[in-house]
Amino acid sequence: MGPIPKLPLVFLNTTILFLTIFIGLSESNSDQVDELLSLQARSKSGVIRLDDHSLSRFLTSVKTPRPYWVLIFFDAAKLHDKHELHLKELRSEFALVASSFIENNEDPSSSSHAKLFFCDIEFQDSQHSFAQFGVNSLPHIRLIGPNHSLKESQQMDQGDFSRLAESMSEFIESKTKLVVGPIQRPPMLSKKQIMFATIGWLIWLPFIGKKIISGKTLLHDPRIWLSGAVFIYFFSVSGAMHNIIRKMPMFMVDRNDPSKLIFFYQGSGMQLGTEGFTVGFLYTIVGLLLAFLTRVLVTVRNVKVQRIVMIIALLVSFWAVKKVVYLDNWKTGYGVHAFWPSSWN
């Protein structure tokens, strides 16, 4: 048998070398995926806590393309008490998306299984990681693709989590082409709570039916309806729905002097809860006085008493409206002016 030609031998050695490197990288990436799955399984919500070391291990030290995407929520526990940032709410919705993605893609045969990992980074523990991403404000969410470096990662805009978990899911699906699936929100009541509530309702049902038939329930009391109408009026004019939706605080601490509290914020960009309740209280006073004049005062036969009470009610109403106009002018800078008909001049 003749000697093996040198060129095929070199080609054979090169092929073996490339196969060895490829297999080594595949095994390394497989080990990292397995480790991420293990960390994910140990997390109650499926969100993996990263620090400076683990960020390097799973992202910066891994050669691209990585076999997975990473979505990172940047958090700061010290800022959770700042309600205007909504960090706690967004962190909860982020965890909800993570648990829904894991549950919807639990089957290993799924094309999205183990392709996306949800992580968070705490500022106090990983300030270097914040600096690497250039994070200087919160809330902040970054998506790192298989071929992305840290600086090339995509930031989730404010509008991408305006509808909380649902809009986060849409952002993920549009950028990664992976399937998140339906958001699995936990029920308001557990099965045990529903069972106890049903048993309690069945026990009280005969007593409630007897009260309804006899006409002795709270719903038959006109004072309840009157109180409810006043409450709904106050609720509608005080901006309470705005406070609930935006989770606005009643007051805030003065940044220049932490010992002072701010109840009225000057500027049209934000409204504190106290401002709305104050205006709602003034509006309610005017409404109640108007109802009193048209429903109660007209039944009084003494004309002198009617006039005195009416004058007092008008003065109080004028004062209340004047305060509302003054507060609006102070807050927004817009003035309210009276315009008389030209024929009166």
CATH number at residue 100: 3.40.30.10
| 252 in any annotated domain | yes
| 93 in any annotated domain | yes
Structure tokens at 162: 């305006």
Domain boundary among the residues 176, 199, 233 is at 176
| 210 in any annotated domain | no
Residue type at position 325: V
Q: Of 168, 146, 153, nearest to 100 (Cα)?
A: 168
List CB contacts of 284: < 8 A, sequence separation 6 or more: 230, 233, 234, 237
Q: What is the pLDDT tens value at each position of the chain, 345 positions in all?
A: 455 454 455 444 555 544 444 444 444 567 788 899 999 999 988 999 999 999 988 988 888 888 899 999 999 988 888 877 888 889 999 999 999 999 999 898 888 998 999 999 999 988 999 999 988 888 899 999 999 888 889 998 877 777 788 889 999 999 999 999 898 887 777 788 888 888 988 888 888 787 777 777 777 788 888 888 888 888 888 888 877 877 777 887 777 777 778 788 777 767 788 888 888 899 899 989 998 988 888 888 888 999 999 999 999 999 998 888 888 888 877 776 666 777 775
One domain for residues 160 and 31: yes
Q: How is 54-65 classified by DSSP, letter by letter?
A: HHIIIIITSPSS
One domain for residues 111 and 240: no
Whether omega for the bond prior to residue 341 falls within 30 degrees of 0, making it cis, is no
Q: What pLDDT is attached to residue 25?
A: 42
One domain for residues 172 and 29: yes
One domain for residues 163 and 88: yes
One domain for residues 40 and 159: yes
Distance, CA of 71 to CA of 281 (rounded, Å): 46
One domain for residues 167 and 224: no
| 80 in any annotated domain | yes
Q: What pLDDT is attached to residue 345?
A: 59
| 134 in any annotated domain | yes
Q: What pLDDT is attached to residue 8?
A: 56
| 191 in any annotated domain | no
One domain for residues 33 and 158: yes
Q: What pLDDT is attached to residue 213?
A: 79
Would you say how long the chain is, in residues? 345
Neighbours of 218 (CB within 10 A): 9
One domain for residues 328 and 269: yes
Q: Of 135, 137, 138, nearest to 91 (Cα)?
A: 138
The number of folded domains in the chain is 2
One domain for residues 167 and 230: no
Residue 75 phi, psi dihedral angles, 5° rounding: -125, 160
One domain for residues 171 and 224: no
One domain for residues 314 and 247: yes
Domain boundary among the residues 121, 147, 176 is at 176
Structure tokens at 32: 């990292």
One domain for residues 171 and 221: no
- Strands of the 69-75 sheet, one edge to the other: 48-50, 116-122, 69-75, 140-144, 154-155
Domain boundary among the residues 115, 149, 176 is at 176
**Residue 199 near residue 115 (C-beta atoms within 8 A):** no
Q: What pLDDT is attached to residue 225?
A: 87
| 311 in any annotated domain | yes
Expressed as residue numbers, the domain containing 264 is 217-332
Q: Angle at Cα 21 formed by Cα 20 and Cα 22, nearest 5°?
A: 90
DSSP state of 5: P
| 11 in any annotated domain | no
Q: Of 108, 106, 138, nearest to 120 (Cα)?
A: 138
pTM for this entry: 0.56
